[in-house]
């Protein structure tokens, strides 16, 4: 930093230094305020490994008996500060006060404690602030040498559990008498582990043994492995799930039927291991259980079953109802388990999930049990199932407000009113209606130093069915376990955001099938959207940069053809008619010098922008969406995510052949329906993500590929189906519509800002490092751009070419902070442009223009991917 820079902003640096000094003094002085003399505040636990580290070593810190006070605010112990802020005079009273149940904590209790501790002068005081400090804060962790020793022993036991039977743990306490602080260092030596010499299994039951042998390739245990008890636990859990999948009800329910025997008599380093599976001491054979009675009761209170219900049955399921509010078949579709079928816990879990997903019932009881007298054959293998369901209220009204932030909308609010009407046709159909709005401000395109009101108001109705709306029985093709559902959607919205506003109408028929907790399929038929543009004639009033270019070329053309100027000034020609004269005048184009050609290309770009921004379009398409998602599942630490979508639009409407000469200057006349041109295209979107766990750190790789192919009645993709660059979930070094792309086009940035295109490639790499439960840091790099599928000979230079596209991507990098509060993650990302393909050659790498205090700031909620 130069002296000149410092002198120009002394107040700024004075404030920074003062704040840092204040925080430092506060931290140094306040943390030991309530540490008694001769005692020490535990500030840190360190772990030093005397030999080779192991992958599980990060878990050892959880086994110490004492942990320092947690750090929250700016990585400092806020809770300790709050506790220390309370008057120490009342600490003893408040510590005892907080041990009472909350309903007993009142003034009467406080007064009795004042008297107990001989503080009669304080009787009647509420101690509100002190109580808040105690409630929100946490007392200082005072070093206890005895607990430190026990912590070392706990770590040693955990190492033994992990297979390091000869591990040693020592510790050293570093005491600072002046500061009244202490740090403990644990010295850990693993030594050689105990290995599995040979692996055997002893399973007397021949059927169970055969099942185990068929799946032995899935075992977690191998000869030569470390004898790790956590691996043995995983193997027991795998066997429990495996055997229950094969119909063995309550297999190992007492956790004493499956165990391992390790023979360490001959050696502590090479130990034979044997798996033992025994139902009892007599080795009684296991029995495969079958489902017996399936009872579903729809009641208002649990006591209504069975005395106040009438009984009915459908396909092996017995229904008990207090009235005919619900049709039996509607509930039957959600019951995956079947009578006389082998017991399958996954089907029972799926049935429970389906019943809740209907959003018509709360489950008062979900019970599966051996038939009465289940210890005696044949009832020892018959499982009866009971579901007690209570209907939810017929109507449910929700009113809410969300706060959102985006680089386009800035900070905005989104109020909404949602009404759910349940069981519309007695088949558990739900009608959801909602009215919502989003209100905020955006940069004015007329004056970017000002902000103007932006909003979107929408109304939508969705009729949801717990089945597929098809004219035939589909269960032979789509099993009940896929939980198929349908919905009919109808909506409308009015929006006013970037420049011109739009009115949108949409409708569609959606089908959803969930194969399991990872895979789902969605098919949308008759996905119809009508988008109408408001205030088309005011385009140049909103897009002032485009108007400036239009003005320049009009002046240039009027000098070349004065007669057109006279007609324009007299009102005989409109702006669009003059623009059409310029585009169609080949002789004028041939007479232009290089600077004039650049202006002409920019002008053509704004005409394309204008046509697309003001276009009314009718879209009727079919969409298929496939999702595979391992994220959030414990069994997949290195999760994979894939979202593939294909949309085919306009083919049904292509039977209409009416043509029109519309107001488009840059496109040919198009066929219409009801006077509005319809779009014809096919579009592919692929979102692929891979997560790699490194202890608590996470590396995320994401690749997005989008391709839109217009054909038939469309020369280009509709704006609402096109791609753009930038934003908090994309290439973060550029704001949305912020000048990146398309390709390495050198067209005037004022024109490129609102370009959209039909190919998009984006690669994101992000490494996430948690600092605490509340704070998480990130380092990221974003790479990508948009391109055109074809060369339209328009001078934009945005055609995708395999031999050029790698040099046309934008590259941005940066750092971020994620703040986790309750269920909300606030994300702050600071991004910098590294490579800008739209700069002239020689100026694309941006290192020489790097300004660390001028990043692109992204504020958002939730992770970007």
Q: Please tell me which of 21-25, 53-57, 659-663, 744-748 the model is most confident about, judged by mean pLDDT.
A: 53-57
The proportion of the chain whose per-residue pLDDT surpasses 90, expressed as a percent, equals 52
810 pLDDT exceeds 60?
yes
User: Where do we find the tokens 């994620």?
Assistant: 818
By the 10 Å C-beta count (0-12 exposed, 13-18 middle, 19+ buried), 380 is classed as middle
For residue 548, the model assigns a pLDDT of 86
Give the pLDDT mean for 452-457.
80
Cα separation, 463 vs 486, in Å, equals 8
Q: How confident is the model at residue 1 (pLDDT cuts 50, 70, 90)?
A: very low
For residue 2, the model assigns a pLDDT of 39
Give the pLDDT mean for 418-426.
95
For residue 400, the model assigns a pLDDT of 85
Task: Give per-residue pLDDT as tens, 753-786.
Answer: 677 889 999 999 999 998 877 889 999 999 999 9
How many Å is the maximal CA-CA distance in the chain? 110
For residue 662, the model assigns a pLDDT of 58
Residue 705 CB partners (closer than 8 Å, separation 6+): 684, 685, 686, 688, 760, 761
For residue 837, the model assigns a pLDDT of 93
For residue 21, the model assigns a pLDDT of 47
Closest CA to 276 of 248, 236, 312: 236
This prediction has a pTM of 0.79
Cα separation, 502 vs 514, in Å, equals 35
5 pLDDT exceeds 60?
no
Four-CA torsion 463, 465, 470, 473, nearest 10 degrees: -170
Q: How confident is the model at residue 447 (pLDDT cuts 50, 70, 90)?
A: low
Neighbours of 781 (CB within 10 A): 18
Q: At how many degrees (to 10) do helices 575-584 and 544-560 cross?
A: 60
User: Where do we find the tokens 């005919």?
Assistant: 324
For residue 653, the model assigns a pLDDT of 73
The span from the first CA to the last CA of the chain, in angstroms, equals 36
Cα separation, 206 vs 192, in Å, equals 38
**DSSP 3-state helix, strand, coil percentages of the chain (rounded to 5)?**
25, 35, 40
Cα separation, 162 vs 517, in Å, equals 31
Cα separation, 443 vs 120, in Å, equals 63
Q: Does an H or E element contain 57, and which?
A: none
Task: Give per-residue pLDDT as tens, 498-515.
Answer: 556 889 999 999 999 998
547 pLDDT exceeds 90?
no
Half-sphere exposure of 523 (CA within 13 A, CB side): 8
Q: Does an H or E element contain 759, and which?
A: strand 759-770
Closest CA to 213 of 232, 234, 231, 239: 239
CA 858 to chain CA centroid, nearest Å? 17
SS3 681: strand
For residue 792, the model assigns a pLDDT of 62
Residue 800 CB partners (closer than 8 Å, separation 6+): 743, 759, 787, 788, 789
Closest CA to 722 of 755, 761, 762: 755
For residue 409, the model assigns a pLDDT of 57
For residue 356, the model assigns a pLDDT of 92
Residue 40 CB partners (closer than 8 Å, separation 6+): 142, 143, 175, 176, 180, 181, 182
Mean pLDDT of the chain, nearest integer: 87
Give the pLDDT mean for 300-316.
91
For residue 516, the model assigns a pLDDT of 87
Q: Are 421 and 415 in contact (CB under 8 A)?
A: no
Tokens of 3: 């002296």
Tokens of 707: 């391709």
The proportion of the chain whose per-residue pLDDT surpasses 70, expressed as a percent, equals 91
452 pLDDT exceeds 80?
no
Backbone φ, ψ for residue 321 (5° rounding): -135, 150
Neighbours of 719 (CB within 10 A): 19
Task: Give per-residue pLDDT as tens, 826-850.
Answer: 899 999 999 999 998 888 999 888 8
Task: Give per-residue pLDDT as tens, 151-188.
Answer: 999 999 999 999 999 999 999 999 999 899 999 999 99
For residue 12, the model assigns a pLDDT of 47
6 pLDDT exceeds 50?
no
Q: Are 864 and 689 in contact (CB under 8 A)?
A: no
Write the DSSP string, 331-343. Answer: HHTT----TTSBP
Residue 847 CB partners (closer than 8 Å, separation 6+): 834
Write the DSSP string, 109-130. Answer: HHHHHHHHTT-GGGTT---HHH
Classify the C-alpha dihedral 80-86-91-93 as positive or negative.
Answer: negative
Backbone φ, ψ for residue 836 (5° rounding): -115, 105
Write the DSSP string, 552-603. Answer: HHHHHHHHH-HHHHHHHHTTSS-HHHHHHHHHH-HHHHHT--HHHHHHHHHH
For residue 657, the model assigns a pLDDT of 57
List, in sequence order, every residue forming a beta bridge with 403; answer none if it has no partner.
413
Task: Give per-residue pLDDT as tens, 633-645.
Answer: 888 989 999 999 9
Cα separation, 434 vs 204, in Å, equals 62
Task: Give per-residue pLDDT as tens, 576-592.
Answer: 889 888 988 889 988 88
Classify the C-alpha dihedral 646-649-652-654 as positive or negative.
Answer: negative
Four-CA torsion 817, 823, 824, 830, nearest 10 degrees: 20
Half-sphere exposure of 708 (CA within 13 A, CB side): 24
Backbone φ, ψ for residue 600 (5° rounding): -65, -45
Task: Give per-residue pLDDT as tens, 86-107.
Answer: 888 888 898 889 889 888 999 9
Rg of the chain (C-alpha set): 35
Residue 47 CB partners (closer than 8 Å, separation 6+): 57, 60, 61, 185, 186, 188
- pLDDT, greater one: 54 or 658: 54
Task: Give per-residue pLDDT as tens, 184-223.
Answer: 999 999 999 999 999 999 999 999 999 999 999 999 999 9
- pLDDT, greater one: 843 or 414: 843
For residue 29, the model assigns a pLDDT of 46
528 pLDDT exceeds 50?
yes
Cα separation, 54 vs 58, in Å, equals 9
Q: Are 81 and 26 in contact (CB under 8 A)?
A: yes
Q: Are 813 and 785 in contact (CB under 8 A)?
A: no
For residue 13, the model assigns a pLDDT of 44
Backbone φ, ψ for residue 149 (5° rounding): -65, -40
Closest CA to 253 of 262, 265, 243: 243
527 pLDDT exceeds 60?
yes
Cα separation, 159 vs 162, in Å, equals 5
Report the DSSP pairing between strands 317-321 and 290-298: parallel
Cα separation, 815 vs 830, in Å, equals 5
């Amino acid at each position: 930093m130069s002296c000149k820079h410092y002198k120009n902003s002394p107040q700024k640096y004075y404030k920074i230094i003062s704040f840092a000094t204040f925080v430092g003094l506060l931290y140094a002085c306040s943390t030991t305020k309530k540490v008694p003399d001769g005692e020490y505040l535990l500030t840190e636990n360190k772990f030093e490994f005397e030999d080779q580290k192991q992958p599980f070593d990060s878990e050892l810190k959880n086994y110490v008996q004492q942990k320092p006070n947690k750090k929250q605010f700016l990585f400092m112990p806020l809770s300790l500060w709050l506790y220390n802020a309370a008057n120490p005079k009342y600490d003893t009273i408040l510590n005892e006060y907080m041990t009472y149940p909350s309903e007993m904590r009142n003034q009467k209790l406080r007064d009795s404690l004042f008297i107990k501790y001989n503080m009669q002068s304080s009787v009647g005081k509420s101690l509100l602030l002190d109580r808040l400090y105690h409630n929100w804060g946490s007392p200082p962790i005072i070093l206890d040498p005895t607990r430190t020793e026990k912590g070392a022993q706990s770590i040693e036991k955990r190492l033994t559990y992990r297979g390091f039977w000869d591990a040693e743990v020592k510790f050293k306490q570093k005491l600072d008498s002046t500061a009244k602080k202490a740090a403990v260092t644990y010295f850990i030596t693993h030594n050689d582990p105990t290995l599995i010499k040979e692996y055997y299994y002893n399973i007397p039951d021949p059927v169970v043994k055969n099942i185990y042998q068929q799946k032995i390739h899935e075992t977690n245990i191998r000869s030569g492995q470390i004898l790790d008890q956590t691996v043995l636990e995983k193997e027991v859990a795998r066997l429990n799930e495996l055997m229950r999948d094969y119909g063995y009800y309550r297999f190992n329910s007492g956790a004493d039927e499956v165990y391992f025997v390790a023979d360490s008599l001959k050696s502590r380093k090479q130990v034979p291991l044997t798996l033992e599976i025994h139902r009892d001491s007599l080795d009684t054979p296991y029995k495969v259980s079958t489902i017996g009675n399936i009872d579903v009761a729809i009641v208002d209170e649990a006591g209504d079953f069975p005395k106040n219900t009438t009984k009915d049955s459908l396909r092996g399921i017995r229904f008990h109802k207090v009235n005919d509010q619900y049709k039996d078949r509607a509930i039957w579709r959600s019951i995956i388990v079947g009578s006389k079928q082998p017991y399958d816990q996954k089907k029972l879990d799926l049935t429970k999930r389906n019943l809740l997903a209907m959003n018509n019932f709360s489950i008062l009881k979900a019970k599966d049990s051996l038939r009465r007298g289940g210890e005696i054959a044949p009832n020892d293998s018959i499982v009866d199932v009971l579901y007690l369901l209570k209907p939810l209220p017929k109507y449910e009204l929700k009113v809410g407000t969300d706060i959102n932030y985006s680089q386009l909308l800035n900070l905005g609010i989104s109020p909404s009113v949602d009404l759910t009407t349940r069981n519309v046709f007695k088949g558990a159909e739900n009608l959801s209606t909602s009215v919502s709005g989003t209100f905020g401000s955006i940069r004015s395109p007329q004056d970017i130093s000002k902000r103007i009101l932006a909003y979107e108001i929408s109304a939508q109705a969705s009729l949801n069915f717990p089945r597929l709306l098809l004219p035939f029985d589909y269960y032979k093709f789509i099993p009940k376990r896929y939980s198929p559902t349908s919905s009919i959607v109808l909506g409308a919205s009015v929006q006013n955001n970037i420049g011109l506003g739009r009115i949108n109408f949409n409708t569609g028929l959606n089908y959803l099938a969930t194969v399991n907790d990872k895979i789902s399929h969605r098919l949308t038929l008759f996905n119809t959207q009508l988008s109408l543009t408001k205030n088309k004639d005011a385009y140049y009033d909103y897009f002032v940069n485009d108007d400036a270019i239009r003005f320049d070329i009009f002046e240039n053309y009027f000098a070349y053809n004065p007669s057109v100027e006279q007609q324009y000034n007299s009102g005989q020609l409109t702006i669009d008619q003059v623009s059409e004269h310029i585009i169609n005048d080949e002789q004028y184009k041939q007479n232009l010098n290089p600077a004039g050609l650049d202006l002409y290309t920019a002008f053509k770009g704004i005409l394309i922008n204008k046509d697309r921004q003001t276009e009314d379009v009718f879209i009727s398409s079919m969409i298929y969406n496939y999702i595979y998602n391992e994220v959030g599942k414990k069994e997949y630490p290195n999760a994979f995510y894939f979202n593939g979508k294909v949309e085919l639009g306009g083919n049904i409407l292509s039977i209409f052949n009416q043509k029109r000469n519309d107001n488009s200057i840059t496109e040919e006349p198009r066929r219409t329906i009801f006077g509005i041109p319809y779009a014809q295209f096919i579009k592919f979107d692929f979102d692929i993500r891979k997560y790699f766990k490194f202890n608590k750190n996470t590396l995320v790789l994401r690749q997005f590929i989008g391709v839109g192919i217009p054909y038939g009645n469309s020369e280009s993709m509709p704006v609402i189906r096109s791609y753009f660059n930038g934003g908090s979930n994309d290439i973060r070094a550029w704001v949305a519509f912020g000048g990146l792309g398309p390709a390495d086009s050198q067209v005037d940035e004022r024109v490129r800002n609102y370009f959209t295109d039909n190919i998009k490639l984006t690669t994101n790499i992000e490494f996430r490092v948690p600092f605490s439960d509340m704070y998480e840091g990130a380092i990221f790099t974003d790479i990508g751009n948009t391109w055109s599928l074809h060369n339209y000979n328009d001078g934009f230079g945005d055609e995708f070419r395999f031999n050029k596209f790698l040099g046309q991507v934008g590259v941005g990098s940066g750092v971020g902070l994620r703040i986790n509060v309750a269920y909300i993650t606030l994300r702050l990302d600071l991004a910098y442009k590294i490579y800008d393909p739209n700069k002239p050659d020689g100026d694309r790498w941006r290192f020489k223009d790097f300004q660390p205090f001028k990043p692109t700031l992204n504020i958002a909620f939730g992770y970007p991917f």
